[in-house]
Amino acid sequence: MLLIGLLGLAVNVASMKLLTHESTSSLNVRSAYLEVLSDAISSIGVILGGVTIRLTGWLLIDPLLSAGISVFIVWRTW
């Protein structure tokens, strides 16, 4: 879980850097950038969950963060 979260965050950060070099006047590029930023925020949630489980063994954090990420996804797609 932690490894996948770190990998996802790295890919999202790399994508964000690529998108910032593109034209910021394009609505499509701006939209893609915001989508990648949202995915990066979700990856940070996964990383926090992985670290919490690793350090404390508190498994309940996984479904709690999953519900939080789900609400975040529904909110941003609304």
9-40 pLDDT tens trace: 999 999 999 988 766 678 888 889 989 999 99
pLDDT 10s digits, 36-71: 999 999 999 999 999 999 999 999 999 999 999 999
Task: Tell me whether residue 71 is in a domain.
Answer: yes
Residue 31 lies in a domain: no
Count the domains in the chain.
1
Greater model confidence, 77 or 23 = 77
Contact between 78 and 29 (Cβ < 8 Å): no
**Is residue 32 in some structural domain?**
no
Residue 26, phi-psi category: left (phi > 0), alpha (psi -120 to 50), beta (remainder): beta
Burial of 19 (0-12, 13-18, 19+ CB in 10 A): buried
Q: How much is the pTM?
A: 0.83
Has residue 8 been placed in a domain?
Answer: yes
Token pair belonging to 2: 């932690």
14 inside domain: yes
**Residue 56: its H or E element:** helix 27-56
Q: Domain range holding 9?
A: 2-26+37-77
